[in-house]
Amino acid sequence: MEDLKYEEIPELRKDLENLGVTTESQNRLPIFEPTMKPREGVRVFEGKYGKLLVEGRLGQAHKNLLETIFWKKEIYTFDEEDGIEFLKVAYDEMKIRKYLSQKSEYSYERYRELLKDMIRTYISLETNKLRIQGTLIMQIYESKVKRPTRSRSPIIPKEVPLTVIKFGAVATALFKNELKFTYNPKPIMGLKSGISQALARFLKTQQSHPTAGYHLRPLIEILEGKMTNKRWWKIREYLKEDAENLEQLGIMINFKEDRLFVIEKT
C-alpha cells in the first residue's frame, strides 16, 4: 500500500472485498458506550451477545469517527508483521473532518483527541466466535501516497499525504472474522443522543424484526445493562427528543406502550 501512486487506488479498490463500516460486535455490544459523553474508567458488561471489559473512554463520538473513516477510506490491506496480521486503512484526513462536520468545521483537536482515546483504551472481548484482547488502534502515521489538491493557492500544498491507521488486535480480528455491515453513517450521526445512535446501530445488525415490535426497555438493556427506573426515564426522554429523526431511519417508538417498531424501507 505504501508503494502505490494515488492514481492507482481506484482500480485496485475494485478488486477488494467490501470491508463495511462496522461489525456485529461493535454494534451489538457496548464497546462504544451509548452516550456522547463517555466517562474515563473501567466498564464491565455481560449480555446476550458476549462479555466485555473496557478500560479507558469510548463513546458514540468515537464510533462516528471510526465509521466515517471506513465509509470514506481510500484503500485498505491486511498486512502481516512477525506472524501477526494487522488491518491498515488509508484515508484523506480532510475528507473525514469535512464529512463529520455539522454546522461548523470539525476541529482538528477533537479529531485527534478521539483517535488518542482509541489508541490507549484497552478492550477484552469474548463472544461465541472470538476471544480477543488489546486496542482498536495501534498507530497513526502519514502515508507516502499523496493526493493532488488541484489548488491554485500558493499557501496550499499541491499534494497532501494520506493518513494510515494501523489497527490493533481487537479491530483487526473483528473486521477479519465477523459479519460486516455497510451503511452511510451520516443519518445516524444526526441523532442527538448517544443512546439513540447506539440503538439505531444495533438494529442495523438484525436480519429481521418482530412484526409486533420490540419491548423497549429490554431492548435498551441490551446496550445499557440493567437500569434503575431513574435512568430508564431519562433514556425515554432522550429517545423522545430524537423521535422524529429516528422515524426518518424507519424506527418508530410508541411511548405509551413502550414498544419499538422497525419499518423496512422499500
**pLDDT of amino acid 25:** 97
**pLDDT of amino acid 183:** 96
Select from 183, 204, 220 the least CA-distant residue to 262: 204
**pLDDT of amino acid 118:** 97
Specify whether the CB–CB gap between 253 and 260 falls below 8 A. yes
Which burial class, exposed, middle or buried, applies to 32 when counting CB atoms under 10 A from its CB (0-12, 13-18, 19+)?
buried
**pLDDT of amino acid 71:** 97
Q: What's the residue count for the chain?
A: 266
10 C-beta neighbours (distance < 10 Å), count:
10
**Alpha-carbon 74 to chain mean position:** 17
**180, 184, 189, 193 alpha-carbon torsion, rounded to 10°:** -50
Coil/strand/helix, residue 261: strand
**pLDDT of amino acid 179:** 95
Can you tell me the distance from the alpha carbon of 246 to that of 197, in angstroms, rounded to the nearest whole number?
9
* Cα dihedral across residues 224, 230, 233, 235: positive or negative: negative
| Positions in the chain short of pLDDT 70 | 1-2, 102-105, 151-157, 265-266
DSSP letter at 106 equals: P
**pLDDT of amino acid 83:** 85
Q: For residue 240, report the phi and psi dihedrals to the nearest 5 degrees.
A: -65, -40
Can you tell me the distance from the alpha carbon of 203 to that of 242, in angstroms, rounded to the nearest whole number?
16
Can you tell me the distance from the alpha carbon of 266 to that of 250, in angstroms, rounded to the nearest whole number?
11
**pLDDT of amino acid 160:** 86
Kind plus residue range of the DSSP H or E element containing 215: strand 214-215
**pLDDT of amino acid 266:** 42
Specify whether the CB–CB gap between 180 and 22 falls below 8 A. yes
Can you tell me the distance from the alpha carbon of 79 to that of 167, in angstroms, rounded to the nearest whole number?
11
Cell of 259: 414498544
**pLDDT of amino acid 10:** 84
156-179 as b/e: b if 16+ CB within 10 A: eeeebbbbbbbbbbbbbbbbeebe
**pLDDT of amino acid 264:** 76
**107, 110, 111, 112 alpha-carbon torsion, rounded to 10°:** 120
Q: How far is CA 192 from CA 60, 180, 201, in A?
A: 11, 25, 14
